[in-house]
Chains A and B, each alone.
Chain A
Amino acid sequence: MRKIRTYNQVDPAAGRELLDQVLAQHKRLAERLASVGSVVAVMSGKGGVGKSALTANLAAALASAGFRVGALDADLNGPSLARMLGASRGRLVDRADGVEPARGAASVSVVSMELLQADEDAPLRWNASTGHGFVWQSAAETGALREFLSDVIWGELDFLLIDVPPGVDKVSRLLELLTPGRTLLVSTTSEMSRRIVARSARFAREAGLPNVSLVVNMSEHVCESCGHHSPLYASDGAEALARDTGLDVWARIPFEAALAESTDHGTPWVLASPNAPASVAIRSIAERLADERNAARAARAEAR
């Protein structure tokens, strides 16, 4: 048999153009994120638990407290963040060094696939002269997410909140690009939610994600007339989730129909009704994030 030199035996500099392009992409991403104080991922693994509404309200709460906030909708196939922040037809200013994000409620910078699609209700479709989407679609979506992170002029931000779509595979895509400084794992109190979010908690642990905490959304119903609190489910799956995973519960956000109504129409509930129980709970998360950010700043200043 002829002896043909292997890939690693020939000149290492040869054939590097693809690798060099990938490395350049990573460099650009790192440079863009260098001006972001804290990246906060809002994820769950389960759909329908209110991740996007929490992200929009949390972004608005932080921004109205004086922080510079960006919100990235990583849900490319079911985007909603721009709409929830009142920027659904917002525009992106096209510059040579990137695009400026749209501005949403409380001046939150927002980027979402929804902004880029002509038809708001159309499914995400890519130009392709071939089928076999299973081969390349995941790469295209990871690439789109990378561009949202690296090609958007986020500027100096205190917080970049990322609304991560359901599915552990989607979290993996994000982790290929960055490691969030804080991850909020959202669950409801239902048993089904407990089961699915437990998988995500395990994934986060195995992936070595730092600073993961739980947020219990729709923890109970609060009557808007009399203020009576009543549970939504017979058992508290979130309590069991916290016990089994050992994760801190950062907040329990009560269900309020008006929160969804207001946020779906582009006005985050924390702005529309700042003293409502759900708004108070969301603001408590914002305060913890702010404390964390201030502590990190102080530690950095002391180290200098």
Chain B
Amino acid sequence: MKFLCIPCDHVMDFAERQLPGDGTLAAVFACPSCGREIAMLTNPMETQLVSSLGVKIGGREVPEQPLELVRSGLADGREDVFAEPMAAADESASALAGADARVSWTPDALERLDKVPRFVRGMVKRIYTDYAKEHGVRSVTVEVMDRARSDLGLEGM
């Protein structure tokens, strides 16, 4: 899929993706020559089809997570199916967060993590932890989570 700016005869660059939460998607492309922007708007069916392929329009901000499609797509995921390595007995957010000693979590951040369904909690926690490590952040706070959501384009996490 390519977008061509006809007056400039330049291929447009991907600029931004927005998921308003109603199943639709807006992907913004900009011409590197004249700066003209266009938004590609997809309906829920088109958005669903693309996400069913396990790909993201405009590329990925975070690497594809193990079983990402199944975890994000399954309507009735089993809460206790995923066990943490060597910590299967306690999958509370505190236990999950404690698994990576290089990054700590504040109580507020843990509380928010605890609200994420257990079916996807491990995956979500890993995304935030990786974000913190990549940005040299030693402690994940609610603010760091908000920033990660915005920077990574995470919806509902």
Quick one: CB contact mask for B78-109 with A, threshold 8 Å, 1 for yes? 11111111001000000000000000000000
Quick one: CB contact mask for B3-22 with A, threshold 8 Å, 1 for yes? 11010010100100000001
Q: Select one of B48, B53, B58 contacting A129, CB under 8 A.
A: B48
Q: Is A17 an interface residue (CB 8 A)?
A: yes
Q: Do A127 and B44 touch across chains, with their CB atoms under 8 A apart? A: no
Q: Do A14 and B80 touch across chains, with their CB atoms under 8 A apart? A: no
Q: Do B75 and A126 touch across chains, with their CB atoms under 8 A apart? A: yes
Q: List A contacts of B152 (CB < 8 A).
A: none
Q: Select one of A18, A22, A127 contacting B57, CB under 8 A.
A: A18
Chain A, range 115-155, C-beta contacts under 8 Å to B: 115-119, 122, 124-132, 135-137, 139-140, 143-144, 146-148, 151
Q: List B contacts of A96 (CB < 8 A).
A: 66, 126
What size tier do the contact residues of chain A reach?
Answer: 35 or more
Q: Select one of B3, B55, B75 contacting A127, CB under 8 A.
A: B75
- Secondary structure at chain B's binding surface: helix, strand, loop or mixed? loop
Contact status of A22 and B55, CB under 8 A, knowing A7-B2, A96-B126, A144-B69:
yes
Distance between B86 CB and nearest chain A CB, rounded to angstroms: 9
Distance between B26 CB and nearest chain A CB, rounded to angstroms: 15
Stretch at the interface among A33-41, A43-51, A86-94, A295-303: A86-94
Instruction: Enumerate 20 A-B pairs (CB-CB under 8 Å) in ascending A order.
Output: A11-B11, A18-B55, A18-B57, A20-B59, A25-B54, A93-B82, A93-B83, A127-B72, A127-B74, A127-B75, A128-B48, A129-B22, A130-B43, A143-B53, A143-B69, A144-B69, A144-B73, A147-B54, A148-B67, A148-B70
